Amino acid sequence: MRFKIFSRTQAIFIVFILPALFAASCGKKEVATTIPQDKVTVQLSWFHSAEFIGFYVADQLGYYANENLDVTLLAGGPEIDPVAAVVADTAQIGVTSGDSILRAQSGGQDLIAISSIFRKSPLMIMTLSNSGITSPQDLTGKTVGVVSTGLDTTWDIQFIAMLKKTGIDPNGIKFVPNEEFHGAADLHTGRMDASSGTFSTNELVQAKIDGEDVVSIYYGDYGVEFYNNVIFTKAQLTADNPKLVQRFIRATLQGYQYAIEHSKEAAALTIKYDETLDVAFQQATIEAQIPLIDTGDARPGWMDDHIWVNTQTILLDQGYITSPVDLSKAYTNEFIK
């Protein structure tokens, strides 16, 4: 009988490789699976604009997708209440003012702020330089535009708080509703001497583009500190699915960081959400926001306890809440860490 002689290489193949290939062929075939994206609806506080640029960047540059999120961004407006939307589960995440969270908590709604877009408030009073108004004290005897003559919106609450902190009697001022919300347009009508509730990232930017000579009086310079654009959700969601909240905040703040570093490129992304927006104005808005978002004393999105205390004190003083709420349940920095 003749025996076939195998080379060393052939022997290795027969002894080690062939059995492994046989076993693999007999095993269960693996099928690649894709984990479905988590759907998240966000109710913004106002119409689409660069005010929400971090969300847009995270959406269009794939930061949400990288976190396995499918995010829908809903425009807001004067008739839309983000708090009501989140409470009713038509949105999982919302953007609103810090005082709205405290008022909701006081009313038994278990909402919690999980980040703040602005670390410093953009709210101010704007007047023309020839008005002679350079400080809150100069408003006595003048006509001032307000967001609501009922003085019950977050913008008006902060304005009244500034008057009280500077010892000015609101009864000595005539209030009329703002109408134009376009740069200094309201100031040229003769209906008002100054406009309150103005955003330095919007109307002031437009006024400067229009070549207006204006004076800005910031609420924060007079001890009124609110978080005006907080990102919030139900406390139940942070307990049931903290990883989802973490992923959402991480991607959103990544979007804001990109906008801080690439304002021109980021501005171009706003057009997807409203094709009527002017890209140059949106870029100017982003650049005006940067020092309010990236303040240098803490990471973007971080919230400070003293501002929440200040907000609560003002709400108590004006009677919008009757007793203090537990601030540890009203906001958290856990998802920024």
Better pLDDT: 9 or 265: 265
Task: Kindly state the average pLDDT of the residues 3-29.
Answer: 40
Same fold, 38-120+227-330 and 123-222: yes
**pLDDT of 5 higher than 80:** no
- If you compute the radius of gyration of the chain from its CA atoms, what whole number of angstroms results? 27
Task: Kindly state the average pLDDT of the residues 158-164.
Answer: 98
Domains of the chain by residue range: 38-120+227-330, 123-222
* CA pair distance 253, 248, nearest whole angstrom: 9
Task: Kindly state the average pLDDT of the residues 171-191.
Answer: 93
pLDDT band for 28, please (50, 70, 90 cuts): very low
The DSSP element (H or E) to which 291 belongs, if any, is helix 279-293
**pLDDT of 320 higher than 70:** yes
pLDDT attached to residue 237: 98
User: Considering only the top CATH level, what class is 123-222?
Assistant: alpha beta
**pLDDT of 14 higher than 60:** no
CATH assignment of 38-120+227-330, among 2.60.120.10, 3.40.50.720, 3.40.190.10, 3.10.580.10: 3.40.190.10
Task: Kindly state the average pLDDT of the residues 187-194.
Answer: 94
* CA pair distance 118, 291, nearest whole angstrom: 9
Task: Kindly state the average pLDDT of the residues 5-33.
Answer: 41
* Burial class of residue 181 (count of CB atoms within 10 Å of its CB; 0-12, 13-18, 19+): middle
- pLDDT per position as a tens digit, 226-277: 999 999 999 999 999 999 999 999 999 999 999 999 999 999 999 999 999 9
* CA pair distance 306, 135, nearest whole angstrom: 25
pLDDT attached to residue 35: 84
**pLDDT of 154 higher than 70:** yes
pLDDT attached to residue 17: 42
Task: Kindly state the average pLDDT of the residues 16-30.
Answer: 42
Task: Kindly state the average pLDDT of the residues 279-298.
Answer: 97
Q: Residues in the chain, how many?
A: 337
Task: Kindly state the average pLDDT of the residues 118-132.
Answer: 97
* CA pair distance 190, 265, nearest whole angstrom: 39
